[in-house]
Amino acid sequence: MNLQFDDTIVALASAPGAGAAGLIRISGREILPCLSACFDAETDWQQSTRSQRYPGTLQLAGSETRLPGALYYWPTSRSFTGQPLAEFHTVSSPPLLEAAIEQIASRGARMARPGEFTLRAFLAGRVDLMQAEAVLGVIDAHDHEELNLALSQLAGGVSTRIGRARIELLELLAELEAGLDFVEEDIEFIDRVTLVTRLEGIREFCEQLYADSAQRMESTGSLSLVLAGLPNAGKSTLYNALVGDAEAALVSDIAGTTRDYLVTPLKWKGQSIHLIDTAGLETGAHEISVSAQNFRQAQTQQADLVVWCTAADLTPELRVEDRRQRDQLAAVRNVLTVRTKCDLSPAPVEAHSIEADLEISVAEGTGLEALQDQILERLSETHRGGRHLIGSTASRCRESLRAAGESLGAAEEAAELQLGEELVAIEIRESLQHLGQIVGQVYTDDILDRIFSKFCIGK
């Protein structure tokens, strides 16, 4: 990859095809002669030293026709690319935009390569590597959650935290090396307890990001919603109601009808969900029963949210068992408790003593809309709270995060066992190397090629 970017580049930065507006982006050290030959405005914009909007026209290639619009001009290195940058905004058809780009190219610019504008921003230090990847994350976002995650990464949320971790490690390294310079005088610049505590905090942060990256690698973009509960709790009936198909799952008054699990992809208010109906939670030595319970356990372990169905007509004995099983599951999973079959409750006073987040009756059609809203709210909280990295960043950084965590763990162990400050310092330098690779302080041409080749032209 050629990392010399002094020439002027041009590209269409708006979406291809007909649209309400078009955007042409130009960047380069020698952008001014190119623009002066193509763009006409009433004000003397060439002498500007600050960013501003200039109404005017852009000449089209092969004719005297001029395309009306507005030029946004950043003449200094404070632009996105770290060099003079201009964007021409206009309302026009694709052929006219292409003619405008041809005219700019004939005046000394060349067509930009995929991701070259963002690559220039990275090399100029305007964004780090994680923020550069977030630009692509914004473009490729499939829903609001993916978009918000990419925007958060683009704003530098994770980068800032990694930057703080690197600064703290550099401070620890400086204190350790200062101690090594005075080793014969027995001067301690940082005590062991403080060193171990600070290393532990940074290690836990790296391990948290590593766990997130692993989860992102396994994610399909859809969230998993599992219906669970005791046998005959109304799970299959609820499943059919949420799917909108009365025959999607077999419904029977006989307990234990569901032996396998059913999966249906849904789209609720823009959120992709995999709705899963499982067998009722029971014990049994029969091979089919054991298999059903294994399926159920596997699905609940991977669920983003479990809707626990508690039938309103449970006997007192089953009510105790239901609460025990639900509490056991809630200790390790995100659980939403729903009291089902409210229309069949034989003892309203006793039934209302059942702890539940919501009450529904599929037969009467009550509570289903509130249940969907509650499910989306819970899934949104889980998805938003547990994600820090977009998928492409998670894939690239996973090994670096693992290695950084291991180096910090080794440094922590060496400090606890008092094996020598030089050994602790070696492991800290190793972790700094890995964290530097994540934010782009350390990079290779191959890494940049792999990342920016995924971009479209104009970004």
Residue 164 main-chain phi, psi, to 5 deg: -65, -40
Model confidence at 218: pLDDT above 50 = no
Domains and CATH numbers, the chain: 9-126 (3.30.1360.120), 154-218+389-440 (1.20.120.430), 223-379 (3.40.50.300)
Q: Is there a binding annotation on residue 236?
A: yes
Q: Is there a binding annotation on residue 378?
A: no
Split at pLDDT 50, 70, 90, the class of 410 is very high
Q: Is there a binding annotation on residue 201?
A: no
Q: Is there a binding annotation on residue 232?
A: yes
Q: Is there a binding annotation on residue 278?
A: yes
Environment class of 26 (CB within 10 Å of its CB; exposed 0-12, middle 13-18, buried 19+): buried
Q: Is there a binding annotation on residue 311?
A: no
Q: Is there a binding annotation on residue 252?
A: yes
Q: Is there a binding annotation on residue 197?
A: no
Give the helix ranges, DSSP H, for 190-253. 192-218, 235-243
Split at pLDDT 50, 70, 90, the class of 74 is very high
CA atoms within 13 A on the CB side of 317: 0
- CA distances for 157 relative to 128, 198, 380, 442, angstroms: 12, 21, 19, 20
Split at pLDDT 50, 70, 90, the class of 142 is low
Which of 133-163 are b and which e, b meaning 16 or more Cβ less than 10 Å from the residue's Cβ?
Answer: bbbbbbeebebebbebbbebbbebbbbeebe
Model confidence at 349: pLDDT above 60 = no
Q: Is there a binding annotation on residue 235?
A: yes
Cα-based angle 323, 370, 228 (whole degrees, multiple of 5)? 35
- Asked whether the beta carbons of 172 and 190 are under 8 A apart, the reply is yes
Q: Is there a binding annotation on residue 25?
A: yes
- Asked whether the beta carbons of 275 and 243 are under 8 A apart, the reply is yes
Q: Give mean pLDDT, residues 331-346.
A: 81
Q: Is there a binding annotation on residue 134?
A: no
- Asked whether the beta carbons of 336 and 308 are under 8 A apart, the reply is yes
Q: Is there a binding annotation on residue 277?
A: yes
Q: Is there a binding annotation on residue 256?
A: yes
Q: Is there a binding annotation on residue 267?
A: no
Split at pLDDT 50, 70, 90, the class of 255 is very low
- CA distances for 312 relative to 7, 21, 33, 254, 276, angstroms: 73, 58, 78, 17, 22
Instruction: Identify which of 6-10, 274-278, 378-382, 415-419 has the greatest average pLDDT.
Output: 6-10
Q: Is there a binding annotation on residue 115?
A: no
Higher pLDDT, 434 or 259: 434
Predicted confidence (pLDDT) per residue in 17-59, tens digit: 666 678 999 999 888 888 888 888 777 777 777 888 889 888 8
Model confidence at 106: pLDDT above 80 = yes
For residue 334, the one-letter residue type is N
Q: Is there a binding annotation on residue 92?
A: no
Of the ranges 8-12, 119-123, 290-294, which one carries the lowest mean pLDDT score? 290-294
- What H or E segment, with its residue span, contains residue 223? strand 223-229
Q: Is there a binding annotation on residue 137?
A: no
Q: Is there a binding annotation on residue 259?
A: no
Q: Is there a binding annotation on residue 459?
A: yes
Global pTM value? 0.60
Model confidence at 216: pLDDT above 60 = no
